[in-house]
Amino acid sequence: MDKDILVAGGGIGGLAAAYALAHKGAQVTLLEQSSEFGEVGAGIQLGPNVVRILEAWGLGEALRGVAAFPECLRVRNAMNGAVLGELPMGQAMVQRYGASYVTIARADMHGLLLDAVRRQGKVHLRLSSEVSRVDQDEQTVRVQTLTQNFHAPMLVGADGVWSRLRKEVVDDGAPRVTGHLAFRALVPQADLPEKLRSKVVTAWLGRDFHVVQYPVRRGEWLNVVAIVHGHVYGDPKHWDHSANAAELRTRLAGATKALRDLVHAIPNWRLWALSDRPPMRSASEHARGRIALLGDAAHPMRPYLAQGAGMAIEDADTLARVLDANPDDVPAALQSYANLRWQRNARVQARAIRNGEIFHLRGPMQVGRDLSLRLLGEKLLDVPWLYRGA
């Protein structure tokens, strides 16, 4: 594929797109609005559907150098500590789906992709390049930043949940505020009492809250995220603050002692207000003409299926493959990309919303959920349609 391609956004999705496109032979210019590359957040989970792609891109060794490979997913009742169900991971995932289940610090995933892009030599990285205007015609997309103008046969919008470029494809307003808040923390396991250290993914299901913990950085650090109901004041687009640890401790005061001990052992948290969009309704939300949306710009989702970064990487892989197969007709290739991706992304979005409702159940519905997990835990926790890939 001998194309010049513009990518807007230097997060995980944008870097994945740049790498995948360059891997197929394209010359890519990546525009990042910030003055330096970086990634906020704590940890992410990558199912075998995503790890297979990274390995096919030649990034398996780099992934193994920074990630953790948990042996199982364990679901527990956050109020009494009871184990409700387990899903084997580790070698069981490799045997079933052909790749591992990986947990990784978001900054490490971002750094892995950035290093890969830099080594590739076909991606021009432009910092301090916020897109201010976009125009397209039958042959070209023209992009204007504050300091420079660019043009190319196509543009990939990978500029996140608050995407500036989304309105060039589907002008449907701002994302919706979910009413959920995420307290996130990363802590060295050596700083925790031994009984609080963990090598597995644990999901604690509470009343109007849940907590997920898992190892990252070769198992040396623990990522913890607590999701609670609530709202913040001010513009949620810019809401990322140091959290008051006492507030989270108060919200989880009724939880089992093991979970409270973990929360009390972590002094520093970051707080995010979560936003998303309804599940995609058609391919028209993914591409129009010579502009394609990717990742959160197209399908921001709640984190309750742990597939936000995964779907962005899947998008990038599909986009590179369809353009490589049909390099001479960009609009047709982007329409093919949209047709291939929108239904899968919509299904993941919908399942994530449903999971959040299940995680936070109360009363008789919570009792029924717990009983179902005890009886059918592995079957309910496995997601074959997802992990087998698109």
pLDDT of res. 231: 77
Place 146 in a pLDDT band, splitting at 50, 70 and 90: confident
Contacts of residue 316, Cβ cutoff 8 Å, sequence gap at least 6: 13, 16, 17, 19, 20, 21, 294, 295
Q: Which of 50, 56, 54, 53 is nearest to 65 (CA)?
A: 54
From residue 122, alpha-carbon distances to 23, 40, 230 in Å are: 8, 26, 45
Q: Tokens 């609530």, residue?
A: 230
> What does the longest C-alpha to C-alpha distance in the chain come to?
63
Strand ranges of the sheet holding 209-216, from the earlier edge strand across to the other edge: 83-88, 72-77, 201-205, 209-216, 221-229, 176-188, 270-276, 240-242
Place 1 in a pLDDT band, splitting at 50, 70 and 90: low
Q: Which of 320, 354, 317 is nearest to 50 (CA)?
A: 317
Is the pLDDT score of 2 beyond 80?
no
Residue 337 inside a domain? The answer is yes
pLDDT of res. 35: 77
Is the pLDDT score of 235 beyond 70?
no
pLDDT in tens, 10-63: 999 999 999 999 999 999 999 999 878 877 668 999 999 999 999 999 999 999
pTM given for the model = 0.95
Percent pLDDT > 70 in the chain is 96
From residue 187, alpha-carbon distances to 43, 109, 196, 217, 326 in Å are: 11, 17, 11, 11, 46
Average pLDDT over residues 72-96: 97
Residue 168 inside a domain? The answer is yes
Average pLDDT over residues 114-120: 95
Catalytic residue selected from 214, 304, 337, 387? 214
The CATH number of the domain where 335 resides is what?
3.50.50.60
Average pLDDT over residues 196-211: 96
Residue 249 inside a domain? The answer is no
Residue 318 inside a domain? The answer is yes
Q: Tokens 């505020």, residue?
A: 177
CA atoms within 13 A on the CB side of 294: 35
Place 243 in a pLDDT band, splitting at 50, 70 and 90: low
Mean pLDDT of the chain: 93
**Domains contained in the chain, number:** 1
Average pLDDT over residues 226-232: 88
Is 304 annotated as catalytic?
no
pLDDT of res. 3: 73
Please give the backbone phi and psi of residue 76, each rounded to the nearest 5 degrees, phi first: -130, 150
Q: Which region among 15-29, 69-83, 232-246 has the lowest average model confidence (pLDDT)? A: 232-246
pLDDT of res. 34: 85
pLDDT in tens, 276-292: 999 999 999 999 999 99
Residue 85 inside a domain? The answer is no
Is the pLDDT score of 69 beyond 60?
yes
Domain that holds residue 159: 4-39+105-174+277-354
pLDDT in tens, 343-352: 999 999 999 9
114 neighbors 32 (Cβ within 8 angstroms): no
87 forms bridges with which residues in the sheet?
73
Is the pLDDT score of 170 beyond 80?
yes
Residue 213 inside a domain? The answer is no
Is the pLDDT score of 238 beyond 70?
no
Residue 301 inside a domain? The answer is yes
Residue 32 inside a domain? The answer is yes
Average pLDDT over residues 163-182: 94
